[in-house]
Structure 1
């Protein structure tokens, strides 16, 4: 049974049983405390907790998930994967335990010919919470399970909570017995490898408080509405139904593994370590493909960092399998073909996805090459110093700064006859992880408990009137201070205010929140921010300027009209620039992020190379021509399907309901789904001035523009600069570029002459420097300051000449000079000196230590430096002393 067929059977069954079929939410979570949708229940949390009223009494879905907590276990077990799909059925105050158990048992055990999954009843076991006698009785009544196949477990295993005060309840899990080949008998409590969990039923029936840990909390009563939250792992069911050993061998994953086998020339199933690597590759490539399809792109932070880590682990695993060249064009194509039936977007959007994957692999392969050079130097220095291990700090630097995997460091070190101080490396890694955890905890603490908004959201959605009105009378529904609902906020306090209606725009879709005030009888509030903490509810962060504000009072939201006008101009200009980019570069140049505020726009788009000045000018001209043409701007509210049929662009990173707002500028020329505020016609935008274009990652570019009066002021400032230059240089405007180029060439030629003069002046000092040699034991040493030098290369050249003039007896030349704002010291040794154990690298380090800097190099010539010019005489004396000590 194909994986996609299992998912469809699941949805068909629950649709037949009156469940609303809900499409999968994005892998990018709406919850600000988590990066990804890590479980099937995440999109339903607002309904399960009662913060947002559920739009349907019962639902079913197949939800895409990403979880990286157990990334090190991927490939080692049958069930750990980063990307997985969770089939779920949900009841929001409708059916409860008996219904959930009945549905699960019927679907699992019904014959395949009847639309079921065809599991044999004898192979199924269940676990329940230790005190849940009701669940035990229902399993016996509904499924006819004997008591011997129902096992009781404690809170650690069979009780669900959010980790915060609120709803909670016992769980019941269904397990499949894979047979004696996979472990000992005795049910899930005896062996969870042989007995594989396939379905978890959560009976959300209690309210808890005083949460001290996952297993330590107080149950304070039953919920007025009891919910059902279930999840069945699609990959786990698939590998059982397909008769394979693990999730990496199912039809949606195995093609990537097989392609990796072909590319490496190694056999799957022969060597355990190789098998783990093949599975890691298959899992991580599929996970990366799905993240890219949901708009995540590689970067050094947040979601992008997780994606980059997955992709680089894949490259590393291929390297450890003996493949050092690029493999993503083969591996990602195999994953696309395996996943496109279930997720057509991976094929439809391939022209956007593939360049990110290929560019990331190319970048990491270059990183591996540069990291190898740095590692080779560390190996050489360790051996020269007589050491046997590369330090943990060096290994951590390679890993953390250059992205060089530690296992490759171990491999290279072993080939060189060295070890790595792994304990020190692991300690540094643990420190980094702890900092990350502390940072994550601080971020979670900064986020208010969303259940505080439940009562306000239960009153209905906040009505936004700002599309047509800049002032709206309303009523204050609630006041919060420090995330806690209070009766009032007083003058000087920062608070959150919830209104029934508001004219103030809440930040979303790249458009920043409105500025403005909220006023009422005896009080005035300065609006600092406007956000949507939960879907459908708008919260205003305010500073109480005058009086005090309390729930129930009348309030009028007042928008700063000038700021809103400029923000509308910027947001409409973003749409115009997007359309102009697609006109110029093609349909693959799609938006991947934006920011719009009064007078300014920032627009990120998928593209693999810098835009030429001519292309930038063309984009700017197309956008401004659209302004000139006074195109009509219209908005329509319609269903998501209708909007897509009309050709509206749905942008990555945006979440859309079943009803959407479509914004047209000039009809279909610019047609996007957008909830932002816009001008009435394109001429109101004024002027668009592209002021910057840059890279924001592999295959991603950013343009920045000023809009309206801000664009005019920028052009006026440039005009003033041009006027000053024409006056100062006495050159007509159209001849300025040639005149400036001429002056730059003259300046460069003069600098070359000066440098040549300084070099000759230094060379003229050669006899004097040779004559200054002193005896340091049996070694002749020249240790002199040159004053200033044009470049460090000049100092190096002269040091080598001095060394050669000193003859074949043991000799060292050490010269220092101020080069710009830094001191450079170059040390050169001849063969006879090196035979006495005198090495230039060690002497350069000694000098650099005195200068407050660093240094090193080869035994025959090395360089050090620092910023403390006054310490140069002492640094040179340190070299002489070191030579004397070594030569003694």
Structure 2
């Protein structure tokens, strides 16, 4: 049994199954495709589900891969146990109706005992108690000791999720302590698993049944094989360690965390937990960001934010006050880039995202501390020792303030958290997240009408060079069913052998147009692809009747298509221009192209300046005017990357790809439609630049006739302004500057008038001084005086009064303003402006407060202004003891 490294084991597994005629696939991104049931890929077979359900045809009936996975269900156990982690890799081999138990069981045994060289006396196998076939294959086709095979129940060895494909499984286990002797019974075996003596490391699932709604298990015509082996777990076994944190690649990261934080493993249980949490979480975040995920307050972005902030918080517990996680990403990349070269390619981007999120957390954790101190003071005033769970949850959810940190700080001052209420809030949030993901059928692929098209039907797209052609109707669908005809007034789906219609994909909207022959006419109002990539025309029957099998003419709305092409080609020029102005970290994060405008989302960490927007726009227009020829070519993905073609950040491509080149300026992988020459784009105009998420900016722009109409509209607005100002267009600025000077002069006059008004009000109010509880009081109302003028008036009255209190109110429109000012001697007698103004404002439907010497408030009921001021003296009587 050789001590093999994690990277060596991964390669040996994939090579072994390549030798068994399996196609090796690269890991799919962590973001699930065509699956709303999951935020993140959490199992090796998840990205292959559509192959198991038959919705998509696999590239081979035999596949092997190593899939990146994220699971956060046991996040609280990370660092506290030896085997929990949020990021892991799952080795797998799969058969789609090809081989079955007779093949996989001997292969699994061969790999484990002959490639990994694990002694067979250290291995045990479990099978489903009714699966005699699997038991017999293990017994007869391998040299395992029959006494090392145990039959277990459904809970241990049967895989099913509700209805749909399911089946028994067989698990391979490793005995960590053979010195204790052979395990003799299934009960003893289960107990050994509970005590961690026995570790399951490879699960072979035999998908051979289809469970119906009545609970019957019907045999599948073509049973499948789905196996999964945790790479970290088998690495721990091969390296003779009890913990995944001792596995070579993970230990390298742990050692780096220790070096950066200065905390050594084994110093204390608490610091060990923090070191392991940081190690695991920085591993997860590095891979998540590499696959295009960015921190946010919802969905998978929230998972990423939580991991980064949790790791940062444990850094603070170890004494780190500044950003540090981004430095650790280098060690993650170094240890995994052989299998995942994209990590090296995106290294600077990954570190930038982590650092920005760390900096934000440092800001929010300080804000959270201020809020928590406020809660503590509030509890102290009321002599309360329990903080509401809703408040603790607000700190956690809004400010990223970990519950444990809140609990720890409160413990020091003898305060506890209402945990029940906190858990209720947390449960509500989780339910909202589940509801947001929506519902799906078995294995997460929504079974909709588009997927009714038989898999064996081939549909060819010839729309790159044609916008009109003849074809034969292969399938008609209406109201969720395959039908033989469509009639006038109905809506449906038409599928033809060949089509010039572009189906919505890659951010480009689907084509519109008509399909017709002598018997009917249908409006194509959209064009899409189903999950298996077949092009479907969504139509409304305008006239006549269409029968399946008829020959038809398909005609794309060419003017609309041309506008879309202009906008699409402009996005390619835009991306390259952004790279030149902002830097190579810019990557496409999303796009939407229709006939009216283009929208382009890209990775960047701050708003563009006005000058940067101008530069980007100029570069795009310069390259439009150069009238570059737009060429397309099909090549292998390797050749495309070697040629410098830009690929989408988190996309998984087939081996052969389409490359769109615009002169020597731009080269991208793209399946969309484009202009033949950049001169066709006409004019490019940026309408807006904005932020859509942390680290993601958005540009909206127009081209062609739309940009000309936009400029004409602006020109007409300019003419209207000139007409209103009664000047020529070239004199608009001068005219406005003259008017601004005149306005300033008028403002000065108004200020002088307000001063005179205030002076007269001062004299009048000084003649009406009252005395309440030994304090001289001036209170009164003035009309149409804004807050600044009201403040100046109160200031003057207080100065004239000397010792005492001034309370004034004013209304402007439907708003009410109050102000109170008090001298030091009045405060010494018990006057508190904040408390007085609060009660005064409540009468006028408002609120406010402030310091003892000065306070302001607002109200919503102007008709209550006089009543509020009239109550000032009675309020003082009650409040001043």
1:260 alignment counterpart: 257
Mapped pair 1:677 → 2:673 = yes
Q: How far 1:700 moved relative to its partner? A: 3.3
Post-superposition CA distance 1:694-729 (Å, at most 9, x none): 333444332221110111111112222333444555
The correspondence for 2:341, drawn from 333, 344, 349, is 344
2:222 alignment counterpart: 225
Over 3 Å counting, the alpha-carbon distance change for 1:731 and 1:327 in structure 2 is farther
State the alpha-carbon separation in 1 of the partners of residues 117 and 651 from structure 2.
39
Q: How does 1:666-705 map to 2 (within 5 A)?
A: 666=663, 668-705=664-701
* Aligned partner of residue 423 in structure 1, secondary structure: helix
Alignment RMSD: 3.6
2:355 alignment counterpart: 358
- The 8 Å contact of residues 63 and 87 in structure 1, kept in 2 or not, is answered as yes
Q: How does 1:304-315 map to 2 (within 5 A)?
A: 304-315=301-312
Q: How does 1:397-476 map to 2 (within 5 A)?
A: 397-415=394-412, 417-441=414-438, 449-450=446-447, 456-476=453-473
Mapped pair 1:101 → 2:97 = no
Mapped pair 1:75 → 2:79 = yes
Q: How far 1:440 moved relative to its partner? A: 2.4
Post-superposition CA distance 1:407-457 (Å, at most 9, x none): 343344445554444433332232222222223235879997338666624
- The 8 Å contact of residues 149 and 187 in structure 1, kept in 2 or not, is answered as no
Alignment TM-score, normalising by the size of structure 2: 0.89
2:125 alignment counterpart: 126
Mapped pair 1:634 → 2:613 = no
- The 8 Å contact of residues 836 and 875 in structure 2, kept in 1 or not, is answered as yes
1:13 alignment counterpart: 16
- The 8 Å contact of residues 182 and 194 in structure 1, kept in 2 or not, is answered as no
The correspondence for 1:60, drawn from 59, 64, 72, is 64
State the alpha-carbon separation in 1 of the partners of residues 150 and 841 from structure 2.
69
Instruction: Report the count of equivalent residues.
Output: 872
Q: How does 1:293-332 map to 2 (within 5 A)?
A: 293-332=290-329
State the alpha-carbon separation in 2 of the partners of residues 122 and 446 from structure 1.
37
- The 8 Å contact of residues 450 and 536 in structure 2, kept in 1 or not, is answered as no
Q: How does 1:563-642 map to 2 (within 5 A)?
A: 563-642=560-639
Over 3 Å counting, the alpha-carbon distance change for 1:684 and 1:432 in structure 2 is same
Post-superposition CA distance 1:572-629 (Å, at most 9, x none): 1111122223333443333222221113112223333433333333322222222222
Mapped pair 1:715 → 2:711 = yes
2:189 alignment counterpart: 187
- The 8 Å contact of residues 524 and 546 in structure 1, kept in 2 or not, is answered as yes
2:508 alignment counterpart: 511
Over 3 Å counting, the alpha-carbon distance change for 1:630 and 1:847 in structure 2 is same
Q: How far 1:318 moved relative to its partner? A: 1.8
Q: Which 10-residue stretch deviates more, 866-875 or 9-18?
A: 866-875
1:171 alignment counterpart: 169
- The 8 Å contact of residues 57 and 532 in structure 2, kept in 1 or not, is answered as no
Q: How far 1:282 moved relative to its partner? A: 1.4
State the alpha-carbon separation in 2 of the partners of residues 719 and 828 from structure 1.
54
* Aligned partner of residue 189 in structure 2, secondary structure: coil
- The 8 Å contact of residues 100 and 224 in structure 2, kept in 1 or not, is answered as yes
State the alpha-carbon separation in 2 of the partners of residues 17 and 446 from structure 1.
27
* Aligned partner of residue 432 in structure 2, secondary structure: helix
State the alpha-carbon separation in 2 of the partners of residues 442 and 881 from structure 1.
62
Q: How far 1:314 moved relative to its partner? A: 1.9
Q: Which 10-residue stretch deviates more, 75-84 or 793-802?
A: 793-802
Mapped pair 1:198 → 2:201 = yes
- The 8 Å contact of residues 52 and 457 in structure 1, kept in 2 or not, is answered as no
- The 8 Å contact of residues 163 and 442 in structure 2, kept in 1 or not, is answered as no
State the alpha-carbon separation in 2 of the partners of residues 593 and 708 from structure 1.
22
Q: How far 1:145 moved relative to its partner? A: 4.0
* Aligned partner of residue 351 in structure 1, secondary structure: helix
Q: Which 10-residue stretch deviates more, 154-163 or 282-291?
A: 154-163
Over 3 Å counting, the alpha-carbon distance change for 1:145 and 1:415 in structure 2 is same
* Aligned partner of residue 288 in structure 1, secondary structure: helix
2:50 alignment counterpart: 46
Over 3 Å counting, the alpha-carbon distance change for 1:627 and 1:857 in structure 2 is same
Q: How far 1:45 moved relative to its partner? A: 1.7
Over 3 Å counting, the alpha-carbon distance change for 1:422 and 1:678 in structure 2 is same
Q: How far 1:534 moved relative to its partner? A: 0.8
- The 8 Å contact of residues 779 and 887 in structure 1, kept in 2 or not, is answered as no
Q: How far 1:162 moved relative to its partner? A: 5.3
- The 8 Å contact of residues 169 and 205 in structure 2, kept in 1 or not, is answered as yes
- The 8 Å contact of residues 783 and 812 in structure 2, kept in 1 or not, is answered as no
State the alpha-carbon separation in 1 of the partners of residues 778 and 381 from structure 2.
25
Mapped pair 1:37 → 2:41 = yes
The correspondence for 1:502, drawn from 471, 495, 499, is 499
State the alpha-carbon separation in 2 of the partners of residues 331 and 276 from structure 1.
17
Post-superposition CA distance 1:441-490 (Å, at most 9, x none): 35879997338666624223432222122234444444556656566666
Q: How far 1:670 moved relative to its partner? A: 1.1
- The 8 Å contact of residues 184 and 190 in structure 1, kept in 2 or not, is answered as no
2:158 alignment counterpart: 159
* Aligned partner of residue 534 in structure 1, secondary structure: coil
State the alpha-carbon separation in 1 of the partners of residues 407 and 798 from structure 2.
40
Question: Which blocks of at least 5 consecutive residues in structure 1 are unaligned?
Answer: 111-115, 212-216
Over 3 Å counting, the alpha-carbon distance change for 1:675 and 1:828 in structure 2 is same
- The 8 Å contact of residues 498 and 538 in structure 1, kept in 2 or not, is answered as yes
Alignment TM-score, normalising by the size of structure 1: 0.88
State the alpha-carbon separation in 2 of the partners of residues 768 and 485 from structure 1.
89
Over 3 Å counting, the alpha-carbon distance change for 1:818 and 1:145 in structure 2 is farther
Post-superposition CA distance 1:92-129 (Å, at most 9, x none): 2221012111111111122xxxxx22323222223323
